[in-house]
Structure formats: structure tokens, C-alpha cells
Structure 1
Amino acid sequence: MNKVLATDLDGTFIPLENHPENERDLSLLGDHLAAQNVTLTFVTGRHLSSVQDAIQRHSLPQPDWVICDVGTSIYHRDGEEFHIANPYVQHLQSIVGEYSTKVVRQKFSAWDALRLQEQEKQGTFKLSFYCDATQVKSLVQMLRQALAEHAMPYNVIGSVDPFNGDGLIDLLPADVSKAHALQWWTKHTGLANEETVFAGDSGNDLAALTAGYRTIVVGNADRALAETVRTHFENCQQLDRLYLAEKTATSGVLAGCQHFGLV
């Protein structure tokens, strides 16, 4: 049977700042994953260049696959190079049809409350804005209403940057998310859910945390999120497929991988 670790990065696989145990366990985890020939897939909201920066900055093991841009891009690593998964591009194109992000951008160009994010944070299927953090919730509702009125096949995700407090708005193809991309990737690569362990820490991981994989919730995750995930697995009578780590971030991922026999 194949062994797969699919993991969020920030707050999960990447060591927390000033946590030497996380740093030590990252080295151990990397060695164990390589020794057990585990397929490593990063599932993150970051864009590819930001993922590559994180790999270098934190000395992360090289992933075999990267699911990034909030689920709108999938890359496969070949040596030192990452190549876009064209079948996934075609899949997303079939969802949006004639409504490219350029068309959608023009539709909302007059909205003063939205400020376009930097070019490297945009994608073929991802349109990203900054906004006032206090307006995130109301803007998400207004954007969803406007998209529905114009029959544009896009969804809106709003959040607040935990590092600087910026309001963040992402427009993605309808129903697309990190979980959607992970499920597409699992099917595309011929893997069974049983072969994959997913690790996460935050609300934007919730759909993937409850998508049917063996699951690790790291110890630094919000307690309400952890309880929501636990309740889901309890209702499905699958608590044996859930590991609620006591240890934080990387150390929790390592403990979970050991619990599930991945390493």
C-alpha cells in the first residue's frame, strides 16, 4: 500500500517560532518520510514561490506534490523543478467557462473597498484582494450576491491575515478549495483515501480534515476546530481515524504519523 502525508504548512508542518522541539522533530520527520518512501504533498494557501521560499527558509523536506493557491494550482516536482498539473487546469477551466479572472476582475474594479493583491498572489483561477479586516464578513456576503446575480461560477473566501491583520478576499472557481483539490489529486493519482493522512490546524483546513482521510489535528489548533473535527469522526463512528495531537505543529505531525504507522 502507498503511504501519503498531505499537510498544511503554516501552523502545521512548519515549526512554530522559538519552538526547538518542532525544529528537532522536523529533521526526524524528514528522515522518517524518506526512509519509508512516503509521498509528501503540501496543501497550502501560499503561492508556489512562497512555498519554495518556505522550503528553503525552514529546511523543509522537498515535497513530491504541491497543492497551493487555496486549491487552484497543483504542481508535481521533477528533480528541482515544479510542473503544473495540466489535467487540473482543464478541470478548473471546465468550471469557469468564459468567466476568466480577468472578466471577474473588471466586474469588481469599481469597488473601492477592494484593493487588488500583488501580481504574484494572483492566479489563472484565483483573484485576490485586500480589504479592511472589519469589512471581511460583509464584503464576502456582497460579493457572493453579486456573483450570483451575474451567474459567475465563483465562490468567495474571506479571512484575516494572522501576521499583519489585513483583510483577505479570494475569489475561486465554484466549490474549489484545498479539500476539493486534494480530493481531485487523490483520484487523479489513483490513491485510496485509506492511503492518505492529512494534517491541519485551522478553519480553512476543516473540509479536508473531515473529508474521509486519516486525520491529524495538531495541538496548537483552535480548540473549537478540534472539537468540531472530533464530533464529525464520532458521528461517523471513525474515531480510530482521528489523532488529536497534544504536541504542536511539526511535533504533532510527527506524533500523528507514528500513531498511524506512516513512519
Structure 2
Amino acid sequence: MKRENVTHLLATDLDGTLVGEKELTSLLFDYYKERPYNVQLVYVTGRHYASTMELIKEEELPMPSILISDVGTEMYDLNDPELHERWKKTLEEKWNPAEISRIVQSCSGLTPQSIPSVHRLSYFAESDEAVEEVKRKLSGSSVPYKLIFSSGRDVDILPPNAGKGEALSFLLREKGWEKANVLVAGDSGNDRDMITLGYPAVVVGNCQKELKQLPDHPMIFRAQKHCAGGIHEAWEHFFEKTPVKNSI
């Protein structure tokens, strides 16, 4: 497989991170156009594929090099269609959605979301207690899983090796981009595992409480500005003033 020589890469969530304040999003991309290097774009979102494509069109966003959708369970590269199949194969090994669904049905306070993904079970939670109940019951079973609770209501149950962080790590290895200047950006709990990968990362100023509770770390920049304005702040902090190497 041919590997591109990528020097700078933005791996960003969409809603509430890259998208949310249109003027700041435009300013960020204008800023990137002025750089002496190209910035490779990777969108890492909780939206499913069709919903993401609609958002890209509505917000007039540039198309990314790679799209990681469905909370890190789907991966698309128009120049490498097999990438999706390689990632899918890794997720199939320990995924038992029928057993997980059976366990969740015995819990109260969870309403299924209609999500067109075979590697993701999603629910709306009525309370924190409902989330704790399903965690207890899943942990007491032998079924492998990863549960992500975000934005105070969204529960995603995934294969144990899925999630935004696992997907991004897989992508960087597959493409040979581990040594690029990578900035990771997010605003909610489903971004946590990629924010804490060890690459330079930004928690945008409008982040949800679950990211405000992250321990301080030199690789995690807490932006003052919201959405794409926070990405802009972090980019200058890491790559324009004091360039750093990632710690993984």
C-alpha cells in the first residue's frame, strides 16, 4: 500500500468541535490555507455515514481524507476502499450484539436509538442510574464490550476494541502517519479515548462536563474559545510557537 508523506494532521470530532460556530470554522480553514504545509483532515464523529455527509454539505466543510464515523466503528477512505473492510474485520472478533441487546433489555431507563450500524448499539439514558445498572449487568456477564456515555444522555455499546481512540490509532498505523504532527480535537465523552491517546489534543472551550473532569496533562490543551476557535488556539500552541513530539 502506498503511504502518503503527511506532516500535519487534524483528527477532529464534528458537532460541538469543528462545527458549532460557522465563522470560527471558516477562520480555521482560512488559517490552514496560509500554512506552508498541508493539513490532512480526519473527521471522527458519532454520526453515521449518511448523517455525516449531510452535515458536511450543510456546513460547507471540506471533504476529509478519512472519515471515522459511528463512534469509531466505521472507517472510510475513498482512495483505499479496503480500509473499511480491514477495520471491520478487527471488530468482528469479539462482538456479540445479540447477547448485549438481551442484557440491556433487562435494564430500565434506556431507550434504543435507530442507528444504521452493525457494530454499535445506541441508547438514550434517562439517568446516570440507568447507565450504572447496564454497566453492572454487562460487567457481570462474560460478553466483551465497551460502553461510552456522553453528553449526559447518549449510551453507545461497541466491540471492546472499538471507539474513536482505537480507530484513530489503527488508522495512523495503517497509513504510517504516527510521526506526523497530529492534533486531536473533541468536546464530549465519546472523544475521551482519542483525546488521551498521547498526541497533542484540545478540549474545546464549550466541552461537556465529562471532558472538564479530565486530569491535567501537557499533551491536553484546554482552549478558551469554543468549537473551531479552540482548535485554532491549540494548533498555534502546539505547532506554531513550541512544536512538540507526541509521547506514544
- TM > 0.5 fold call: yes
Q: Distance in 1 between matches of 2:62 and 2:200?
A: 21
CA contact (8 A) 1:66 1:75 kept: yes
Q: State the match for 2:17 in structure 1.
A: 12
More helix by share: 1
Q: Distance in 1 between matches of 2:226 and 2:110?
A: 35
Residue 43 (structure 1) shift: 1.1
Paired residues, number: 233
CA spacing shift, 1:131–1:259, aligned 2, 3 Å: closer
CA contact (8 A) 2:91 2:161 kept: no
Query: Structure 2-normalised TM-score?
Result: 0.80
Residue 110 (structure 1) shift: 6.0
Q: Distance in 2 between matches of 1:208 and 1:200?
A: 8
Q: Distance in 1 between matches of 2:109 and 2:210?
A: 31
Q: State the match for 1:187 in structure 2.
A: 173
CA spacing shift, 1:34–1:103, aligned 2, 3 Å: farther
Q: Tell me if 1:169 matches 2:155.
A: yes
Residue 114 (structure 1) shift: 4.1
SS in structure 2 of the partner of residue 228 of structure 1: coil
**Higher alpha-carbon deviation: 62-71 or 249-258:** 249-258
CA spacing shift, 1:25–1:138, aligned 2, 3 Å: closer
1:143-175 per-residue CA deviation (whole Å, 9 max, x = no partner) reads 423xx42x22222333456xxxxx433221114
Unaligned runs of 5+ in 1: 17-22, 162-166, 234-238
Q: State the match for 1:236 in structure 2.
A: none
Unaligned runs of 5+ in 2: 1-5, 241-248
Q: Distance in 1 between matches of 2:237 and 2:62?
A: 20
Q: State the match for 1:19 in structure 2.
A: none
Of residues 182, 199, 209, the one that matches 1:213 is 199
Q: Distance in 2 between matches of 1:256 and 1:212?
A: 15
SS in structure 2 of the partner of residue 63 of structure 1: coil
Q: State the match for 2:123 in structure 1.
A: 129
CA spacing shift, 1:136–1:227, aligned 2, 3 Å: closer
The share of aligned pairs that are identical, in percent, is: 29
Aligned pairs for 1:1-263 (under 5 A) are 2-16=7-21, 23-33=22-32, 36-78=37-79, 85-96=84-95, 99=96, 101-102=97-98, 104-105=100-101, 108=104, 113-118=109-114, 121-133=115-127, 135-145=129-139, 148-149=140-141, 151-159=142-150, 167-192=153-178, 194-222=180-208, 225-226=211-212, 228-229=214-215, 231=216, 233=217, 239=218, 241-261=219-239
Query: Structure 1-normalised TM-score?
Result: 0.75
CA contact (8 A) 1:156 1:171 kept: yes
Q: Distance in 2 between matches of 1:219 and 1:113?
A: 31
Q: Distance in 2 between matches of 1:111 and 1:245?
A: 38
Q: Which amino acid aligns with 2:11?
A: A
CA spacing shift, 1:253–1:137, aligned 2, 3 Å: same
